Chain A
């Protein structure tokens, strides 16, 4: 097996050999490697196929910008992760990775045929397919796209890993642990700022940490040695927290940032167990220093995407940090000085290399050094083509014309096994723009830079466009002193020597004798968009960068165009003949690199997904086989199946028992608001549609609450407990919103009212007993209470004790039966319930759930807000005009009740429906029509509630129907998928219209 590891470095532990599997084959690397460096050490460049043309692709970079080396990690159903960048993944024993997007395998790929039919897949291919015949789409395009699309596989079972969230507050957050970040963090921490320094790599130091060129020195030391010293020093600072393997995902307003910390991804399987895998840090920082550095740009020339073509600086890092050479015969193609550092490094390790430089000439310390080492340099030359299918084996260069627009002279063919490219540097301004910052364009080296730094945010180092070490250090020190308003002298006497770049030449799309249509000049490697695609988009009339991006899909892959956006912009500017700075950029959106769902969700999974509220009686319901229904966060008994009953049978039995003898309902979840104060009556007058001033103490009243727009909002019974004390009940689901609404009016519209509101929903448990025998059961529980209709009539309230414990008893009814609600402090709720059940035994007291409650109230035509109403129903629409006071001067929503729209007679109104076949039960939500033949069919309304009533022995339904009030007796039709159901409009009250049962 070939070995490209050619020397030892301090970052690779050669005593710790690590075995891993890539595409099913076992390889070895060392602790300290990334998957990418280990693959390169094994001579593997080819790691995937491109998205559209399925061209062979190799590792391009050494970091987050990697477009090609993305892989699927693991193969278990619950533990597999797609789109992981091999350049960032630290190697561990037992790692299993596979290349993505290449079926059947990376070396022989059927989709590669797309490469030969690529003239058929131009820019906007996906959009254009939508315009072609439908039959084409189904038979040709969709299967083609589905077969070749898709980056990786998602797990199919729940994620077994543990994720965590943590909130932290700091005075200063420094993003990026390169040389400028380290300086900033040290200055902040030493001057009493509580500081956090985060870096996405395993160790601090950025690209300076492996820098070993003698022409770059700080205080007479190699810059890497100097920086190591600095890192040792900052580790001693008590005011500074350092988080490595931590990357900022998002920078929101008000210096709120999200960071992802990798805790176990680099550990072997057995050490990952029971540990938190990733942690999401939610950071609030008073001040933020952005020191995120810059990434190298590729160059755009024909066939610039072959395996073996990497960024020049990445070749340098693989060599000096990992000890791995990317080839044995390397060509570096550049337009700036940085490739010369790579060249000199390679040369010193004995790796043959030559330089092709776009610039006519250049002079600097680095270039002199390269020349004196005898490294061959082709100035004023350009790469025009490359060769080799699975890996580059040679290339052609030509001389550039004077203006740089074309090539001249003869082709020169050079053999190589690796090509490094350097098109200059792009400052990572993502964080700055995510936080809302604007950008400026600097013409001289064609970079976008942070326009302004605010008082709480600053960019330093190469992300701010300072590229040589002297500039970086001097400017960082000055800016941080000003930013933090300190006078730190630590770097006053630091002596920096570095090579200065003097010559620049940038050409976004390099010239070629071959017409553009016949070249493959890739801009976005992952999404396979070429210079030709961009030009085609412009030709077809696209101008905005945002449109060109979407049409060509440039910059829209998982790497979000970190390597491609600048070239796309440059080519658009050149083609349209405008200045690049005037085009603006595409928006940089979070996250900077992809996040796992696990990290975002943290611990809020399974039973921690949402709060569950249970009543005091919950355990009894569980013991008695209740099926539960979720109502908001509450678990409410839905029905209590007995002896294998299904839901229908259970509900029929419960409903019948409640009317024949007695039923009991856990009503604890109803919202309860305690209202006190000298203006409590006046307050109720204003929030309900009916009058409250004359309600006697000890009496109860039903109220309907509207929104200011006149639509029904909530309902419930309120009891006057004493002169200035009421207890309001609300619907279960509406409780929190009603309280908020009442507080809003009290605080903002009527602050003069003396009223205090307290939510007491959780303080009281409620057992509601109804049915003809309810009075007898109450008598057993409260033998001293006079239950006669004279003393304790319907809609009244009494207090009594149950074994010394105070109870509030309301005689109110939601079923139409004689009914009592017993309220007790929640801690006694379970005992109360059991005593009721015991007392009711001889009367067949039957526990019933929400479904039976709904059925019983529907028999009586009582509405359920939120089921029979939907925010568009007025009291009049519900045929409840009786509850709207004509005398009251005002109440919430009153004025809206006579807006021209609310008085329309053809509004949807609540009606009853009876099916012609009494056994036929309608589906809730069904549409209602009157004529099946009209086209288009006129939709009159829909069914809101529907049940089979065991007490009436027929099907009943409530519905909202246009002009329904005037339609009693009329025939209507419910059209279903395979039949039409005939119904007749009826009254909304189906049972006991005279309310005889209330006092039976």
Chain B
């Protein structure tokens, strides 16, 4: 059970949060100009990394804010949290 440091509320139990999958997938600005393959890439394709992964989490039973998390999936350590719109920490590239 993770302890997640919500950037707005502080450390809370994982049961207050819901996970929203991979982070930094930007919705295409002009979907109509994409081919089926390009749209499918946006819509369906997600990474499943053993190691450092960038994820979206929502403090759903708290402030209801979405934010980003850097998590090492091999040991579940959360390395960093940062707000939506902020750039991912460069040291985890």
User: Which of A's residues lie within 8 Å of B, judged by CB?
Assistant: 252-254, 256, 284, 436, 708-709, 740, 743-744, 747-749, 751, 889-890, 894-896, 899-900
Contacts and interface: CB of A to CB of B under 8 A. Distances in A.
B1 A744 contact: no
B76 interface: yes
B86 to A, nearest CB: 12
A740 B1 CA distance: 23
Contacts of A747: 65-66, 84
B36 A899 contact: yes
Given A744-B20, A894-B31, A751 B2 contact: no
A740 B84 contact: no
Interface in B47-93: 56, 58, 60, 64-66, 75-76, 84-85
A253 B78 CA distance: 11
19 contacts: A253-B1, A253-B76, A256-B1, A284-B3, A284-B13, A708-B27, A708-B43, A709-B43, A740-B60, A743-B66, A747-B66, A748-B66, A749-B26, A749-B27, A889-B32, A890-B31, A894-B32, A896-B39, A899-B39
B31 A751 contact: no
Contacts of A749: 26-27
Nearest to B56: A748
Given A744-B58, A890-B32, A896 B43 contact: yes
Interface in B33-50: 34, 36, 39-40, 43
A751 B26 CA distance: 13
Contact of A744 (B39, B43, B66, B76): B66
B82 to A, nearest CB: 13
A751 B43 contact: no
A709 B31 CA distance: 12
A896 B38 CA distance: 11
Nearest to A739: B64
Q: Which 7 A-B pairs have the closest CB atoms?
A: A895-B31, A256-B1, A254-B3, A747-B66, A749-B27, A252-B1, A253-B76
Nearest to B39: A895
Contacts of A252: 1
Interface residues of B, number: 26
Given A254-B3, A747-B66, A747-B84, 19 more contacts: A252-B1, A253-B1, A254-B1, A254-B2, A254-B76, A256-B3, A284-B13, A436-B75, A708-B43, A743-B64, A751-B84, A751-B85, A890-B30, A890-B32, A895-B28, A895-B31, A895-B39, A896-B39, A899-B39
A517 B75 CA distance: 45
Contacts of B2: 253-254
Nearest to B26: A749
A436 B40 CA distance: 37
A882 to B, nearest CB: 21
A740 B58 contact: yes
A436 B27 CA distance: 37
Nearest to B67: A747
Interface of B: 1-3, 13, 20, 26-28, 30-32, 34, 36, 39-40, 43, 56, 58, 60, 64-66, 75-76, 84-85
B55 to A, nearest CB: 13
A743 B63 CA distance: 12
Nearest to A256: B1
Contacts of B30: 890
Contacts of A900: 36
A749 B85 CA distance: 9
Contacts of B75: 436
A895 B34 contact: yes
A744 B76 CA distance: 24
Contacts of A254: 1-3, 76
Contacts of B84: 747-748, 751
Contacts of B13: 256, 284
B47 to A, nearest CB: 18
Nearest to B65: A747
A252 B13 CA distance: 12
B17 to A, nearest CB: 12
A900 B84 CA distance: 33
A744 B84 CA distance: 11
A592 B20 CA distance: 33
A708 B21 CA distance: 15
B51 to A, nearest CB: 15
A589 to B, nearest CB: 16
Contacts of B66: 743-744, 747-748
A885 B78 CA distance: 44
B30 to A, nearest CB: 8
Contacts of B1: 252-254, 256
B3 to A, nearest CB: 5
Contacts of A708: 27, 43
Nearest to A892: B27
Contacts of B39: 895-896, 899
A708 B75 CA distance: 32
Contacts of A740: 58, 60
A748 B23 CA distance: 10
A708 B39 CA distance: 10
Contacts of A743: 64, 66
A890 B27 CA distance: 12
Nearest to A749: B27
B60 to A, nearest CB: 7
Nearest to B85: A751
A743 B85 CA distance: 15
Contacts of B58: 740, 744
Nearest to B29: A890
A178 to B, nearest CB: 28
A20 B20 CA distance: 57
A108 to B, nearest CB: 50
Contacts of B85: 751
Contacts of B28: 895
A751 B36 CA distance: 27
B57 to A, nearest CB: 11
A114 B71 CA distance: 54
Most chain B CB inside 10 Å of its own CB: which residue of A740, A751, A900: A740
Nearest to A890: B31
A836 to B, nearest CB: 35
A710 to B, nearest CB: 9
A748 B1 CA distance: 26
